[in-house]
C-alpha cells in the first residue's frame, strides 16, 4: 500500500476492528448516468425502448471482467413496479473467490465470457435485447455475486459485500473505472452549471460474513443504538445527502414522518436495549423495528435506515440476510470518497457495538438514558445549514476517536469533501471573511404521499433553495448588517445574523436565507413570485459587499445544451454570481458602527429567513 494513503488508512481501521473482534462487512449500490444526455432514461425513467441502458450495462460488465475476475454473467429477474410493463433487466455477475480478488483466467474462460457478453449486447430489429436465458443466482459459496440493473436515470451496481475497507476500495475502484470505460459518470452537470450526483444515490449496507453472523445479531444492542445515534447526529442524515432532504426524499429520517410513529420508535429502542443481553432474537429485532423504520407512507424501502433485508419473512432468502442499508448518501465523484463514507459507517456501527450510547445534553437539558433527542423545528432550520452540520460531524468524529475507532486525517478529509464547495468565498475588506454556501432544502411532495407509491418517480416542488451566508470577523467588532432583496420586491429585508461560534478571538456570524427560484407548474404557492436574482448585502465598517445570485442565465434565454465539461460548468456558475464591494459615503447611515448595528438573532432561535413569506 506504499503511496496509497487511502488504502493505508483503511487498513489501519480494518486492523483495529479485527483486534476488537468485530466482523462488520460493507457493501454499496453505486449508480452511474450518461451525463451528456437529457433523454428520459438518463433523467427520470428506469428502462428505455432502444436498449441503450442495457448496452451500457453490458459494457460496464465487460470492463469489470479483468480487474474483478468475472467468471460468468447471468440474466436474472429484475424488479417490476406497478407502472412498468415488464421486469427490468438485471445482469448477475459471478466473480472471483473469497480472499482472492483477481483469480487467474484461462483462454476458454475468456472466450466463453466474451460470447456471453456479445449475446447480451445484441438486439433484435425491433429494439428488444436478445438476452441469455433467465437463470437464478448461483448458490452462495466461495464466489462473489453482484448485479447491474437500471433505476430511474441511472445504471445501478449492487456490489458484493466486502469483509474490510481495503477490499471494498479495490472493488469500488474497479467499478468506477468500468463505468467510465462505458461512458457513464457518477456526477451530472446541470444546464446552469451546478454539479450534482448521478441521481441514483450511493447507498451503503452493513452486514456480516453470513446472515447468522450479522453484527446486528451478534451484538443485539447495536441496531437500537445505531437508530438513536443517527437520530441524535443529523450530520449522518444530511452531510452526505444530495439535493432533496426531508420527508419526500429517498432517505427520510424517522422524525420526519408520522409523529406518533417516531414516539413509538423511542420506546422500541429502549425496550430492545433492555433485552439485549438475553432475549433479542433476529426475528424479534426485525418485528420490533420494521413497522417503525419506514417513510411517511409506510414504505420500508425508502427509510433512512432500511431493515427490509435484516430478517424479513416476506422476501424469502433475500429478506433474511442480516443486512441494514443506510440510504442518506449521494453518489460521490470518486471511489475514495465512497470508501471513506463506508469507513465512517463501519466505525459508527463498531462504536455502537462496543459501548452504551447516551444522547448528549442540549441547551441545558439533561440527557435521558436510552432516549433520543427531539429536534423539533431545529431539524429543518438550524441543521439545514452547513456550519452546524459540520460541527455535528466533528462531534461524531471525536466520539469515534474516544472509542478507538477513529478514521484518521486522510479519511476524515475525504468524508468532509462530500459536500459541494462554497458558491463564493472572499475577504471583501481586511479582517472579514465571507462565505456563501448552498444549504439543505426540503422539497415537499405534491399531493398525497400514498397516491404516488406505485410510481417509479415522484413529483416534488423543487422551486425553493436555501443558502447559508457566513461572516467571520474579530469578536470585538459589532455584528454586520445584512439585508436581502431582489426580484419583484423593491425594498431590502433586514436579516438578523446569529452568532454560531466564538473561538480564538474570532466570531462566526451566520444567517440562512430561503427563496423561490422559479414559479413551478405544477407546484405549490402559485401566488408567490420568484426572487431572482437574489441580492445579499453585508454592510460593515463603511463598506458594502453585494452578492447577486441568478438562478438561471443572467441575460435570459436558454443555455446551449448541458455543459460540455467541468470547465464550462464552472464558467456558467461564475456568470450567475456577481460580487461587488463599495464604500459608504463619509456621511452615510453609519452601518457597521457599534451604536447602530442591528440586534443579533437569538442563538437558540431560528437561523433561517424565508423570503417567500413577507415580514
For 533-570, what is each residue's pLDDT tens digit?
999 999 988 899 999 999 999 998 999 999 999 999 99
Which of 110-124, 166-180, 582-596 tops mean pLDDT?
166-180
Domain-embedded: residue 341: no
DSSP 449-488: SGGGTTSSS--B---EEEEEEEEEEETTSPPPEEEEEETT
Does the pLDDT value for residue 488 go beyond 90? no
Burial status of residue 358 (CB atoms within 10 A of its CB: 0-12, 13-18, 19 or more): middle
Q: How far apart are CA 206 and CA 176, in angstroms?
A: 21
Q: How far apart are CA 474 and CA 489, in angstroms?
A: 33
pLDDT of residue 451: 63
pLDDT of residue 513: 96
Does the pLDDT value for residue 28 go beyond 90? yes
Domain-embedded: residue 429: yes
Least confident range from 89-103, 157-171, 375-389: namely 89-103
pLDDT of residue 98: 46
- Which of 471, 344, 364 is closest to 414 using CA atoms? 344
Average pLDDT over residues 210-229: 96
- Which of 438, 432, 344 is closest to 394 using CA atoms? 344
The residue with greater pLDDT, 55 or 590, is 55
CB 437 within 8 A of CB 468: yes
Q: Which residues of 36-65 are buried (b: 16+ CB within 10 A; e: fewer)?
A: beeeebbbebbbbeebbbbbbbbbbbbbbb
pLDDT digits 0-9 by tens, 336-347? 999 999 999 999
Strand 203-207 with 489-495, pairing? unpaired
Average pLDDT over residues 307-334: 93
Q: Please tell me the total count of domains within the chain.
A: 1
pLDDT of residue 326: 97
pLDDT of residue 454: 65
Q: How far apart are CA 95 and CA 143, in angstroms?
A: 6
Domain that holds residue 573: 424-610
- Which of 49, 349, 69 is closest to 226 using CA atoms? 349
pLDDT digits 0-9 by tens, 265-301? 999 999 999 998 788 999 999 999 999 999 888 888 8
Domain-embedded: residue 520: yes
List C-alpha distances in Å: 8 to 11, 132, 169, 409, 410. 5, 41, 11, 12, 9
pLDDT of residue 588: 45
The residue with greater pLDDT, 86 or 230, is 230
pLDDT of residue 493: 87
Q: Which residues contact residue 536 at a Cβ distance below 8 angstroms, ignoring those fewer than 6 apart? A: 436, 467, 469, 482, 483, 484, 513, 546, 547, 549
The three three-digit cell numbers of residue 319, written as one number: 429478506
Strand arrangement, sheet containing 203-207: 25-29, 203-207, 324-326, 305-306
Q: Which residues contact residue 36 at a Cβ distance below 8 angstroms, ignoring those fewer than 6 apart? A: 562
Does the pLDDT value for residue 260 go beyond 50? yes
Domain-embedded: residue 244: no
- Mean pLDDT score across all residues of the chain: 87
A 10 A CB-CB count for 571 gives 12
Domain-embedded: residue 446: yes
Q: How far apart are CA 208 and CA 321, in angstroms?
A: 9
pLDDT of residue 369: 62
CB 95 within 8 A of CB 143: yes
The three three-digit cell numbers of residue 192, written as one number: 446552469
Domain-embedded: residue 127: no
Domain-embedded: residue 59: no
pLDDT of residue 138: 46
Strand 203-207 with 324-326, pairing? antiparallel
Average pLDDT over residues 483-498: 78
pLDDT digits 0-9 by tens, 395-417? 999 999 999 999 999 999 999 99
Domain-embedded: residue 521: yes
Q: How confident is the model at residue 154 (pLDDT cuts 50, 70, 90)?
A: very high
Burial status of residue 448 (CB atoms within 10 A of its CB: 0-12, 13-18, 19 or more): exposed
CB 358 within 8 A of CB 367: yes
Amino acid at each position: 500500500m506504499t503511496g496509497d494513503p487511502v488504502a493505508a488508512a483503511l487498513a489501519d481501521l480494518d486492523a483495529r476492528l479485527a483486534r476488537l473482534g468485530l466482523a462488520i462487512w460493507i457493501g454499496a449500490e453505486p449508480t452511474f448516468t450518461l451525463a451528456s444526455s437529457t433523454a428520459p432514461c438518463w433523467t427520470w425513467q428506469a428502462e428505455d425502448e432502444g436498449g441503450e441502458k442495457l448496452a451500457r450495462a453490458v459494457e460496464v460488465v465487460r470492463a469489470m471482467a479483468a480487474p474483478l475476475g468475472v467468471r460468468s454473467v447471468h440474466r436474472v429477474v429484475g424488479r417490476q413496479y406497478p407502472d412498468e410493463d415488464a421486469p427490468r433487466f438485471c445482469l448477475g455477475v459471478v466473480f472471483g473467490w473469497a480472499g482472492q480478488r483477481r483469480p487467474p483466467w484461462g483462454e476458454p474462460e475468456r472466450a466463453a465470457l466474451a460470447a456471453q457478453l456479445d449475446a447480451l449486447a445484441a438486439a433484435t430489429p425491433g429494439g428488444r435485447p436478445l438476452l441469455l436465458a433467465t437463470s437464478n443466482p448461483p448458490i452462495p459459496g466461495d464466489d462473489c455475486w453482484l448485479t447491474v440493473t437500471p433505476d430511474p436515470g441511472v445504471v445501478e451496481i449492487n456490489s458484493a459485500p466486502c469483509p474490510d475497507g481495503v477490499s471494498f476500495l479495490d472493488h469500488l475502484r474497479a467499478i468506477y473505472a468500468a463505468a467510465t470505460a462505458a461512458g457513464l459518470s457518477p456526477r451530472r452537470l446541470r444546464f446552469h452549471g451546478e454539479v450534482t450526483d448521478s441521481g441514483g444515490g450511493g447507498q451503503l449496507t452493513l452486514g456480516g460474513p453470513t446472515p447468522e453472523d450479522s453484527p446486528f445479531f451478534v451484538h443485539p444492542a447495536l441496531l437500537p443504538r445505531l437508530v438513536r445515534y443517527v437520530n441524535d447526529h443529523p450530520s449522518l442524515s444530511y452531510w452526505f445527502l444530495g439535493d432533496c432532504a426531508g420527508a419526500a426524499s429517498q432517505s427520510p429520517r424517522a422524525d420526519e414522518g408520522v409523529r406518533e410513529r417516531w414516539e413509538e420508535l423511542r420506546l422500541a429502542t429502549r425496550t430492545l436495549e433492555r433485552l439485549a443481553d438475553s432475549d433479542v432474537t433476529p426475528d424479534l429485532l426485525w418485528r420490533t423495528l420494521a413497522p417503525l423504520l419506514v417513510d411517511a407512507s409506510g414504505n420500508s424501502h425508502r427509510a433512512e435506515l432500511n431493515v427490509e433485508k435484516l430478517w424479513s419473512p416476506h422476501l424469502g432468502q433475500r429478506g433474511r440476510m442480516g443486512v441494514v442499508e443506510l440510504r442518506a448518501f449521494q453518489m460521490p465523484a470518486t471511489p475514495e470518497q465512497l470508501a471513506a463514507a463506508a469507513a465512517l459507517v463501519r466505525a459508527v456501527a463498531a462504536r455502537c457495538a462496543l459501548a452504551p450510547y447516551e444522547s448528549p445534553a442540549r441547551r441545558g437539558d439533561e440527557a435521558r438514558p436510552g432516549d433520543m433527542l427531539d429536534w423539533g423545528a431545529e431539524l429543518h432550520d438550524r441543521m439545514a445549514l452547513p456550519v452546524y452540520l459540520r460541527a455535528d460531524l466533528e462531534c461524531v468524529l471525536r466520539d469515534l476517536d474516544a472509542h478507538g475507532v477513529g478514521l484518521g486525517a486522510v479519511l476524515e478529509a475525504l468524508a468532509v469533501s462530500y459536500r459541494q464547495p462554497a458558491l463564493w468565498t472572499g475577504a471583501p475588506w481586511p479582517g472579514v471573511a465571507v462565505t456563501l454556501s448552498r444549504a439543505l432544502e426540503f422539497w415537499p411532495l405534491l399531493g398525497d404521499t400514498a397516491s404516488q407509491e406505485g410510481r417509479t418517480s415522484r413529483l416534488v416542488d423543487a422551486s425553493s433553495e436555501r443558502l447559508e451566508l457566513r461572516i467571520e470577523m474579530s469578536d470585538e467588532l459589532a455584528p454586520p448588517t445584512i439585508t436581502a432583496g431582489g426580484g419583484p420586491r423593491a425594498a431590502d429585508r433586514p436579516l438578523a445574523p446569529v452568532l454560531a461560534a466564538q473561538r480564538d478571538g474570532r466570531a462566526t456570524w451566520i444567517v440562512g436565507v430561503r427563496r423561490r427560484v422559479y414559479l413551478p407548474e405544477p407546484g405549490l404557492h402559485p401566488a408567490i413570485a420568484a426572487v431572482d436574482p437574489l441580492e445579499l448585502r453585508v454592510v460593515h465598517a463603511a463598506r458594502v459587499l453585494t452578492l447577486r445570485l441568478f438562478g438561471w442565465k443572467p441575460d435570459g434565454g436558454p443555455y446551449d445544451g448541458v455543459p460540455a465539461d467541468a470547465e464550462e460548468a464552472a464558467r456558467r456558475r461564475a456568470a450567475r454570481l456577481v460580487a461587488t464591494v463599495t464604500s459608504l459615503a463619509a456621511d452615510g447611515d453609519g452601518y457597521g458602527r457599534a451604536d447602530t448595528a442591528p440586534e443579533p438573532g437569538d442563538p437558540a432561535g431560528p437561523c433561517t429567513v424565508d423570503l417567500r413569506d413577507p415580514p
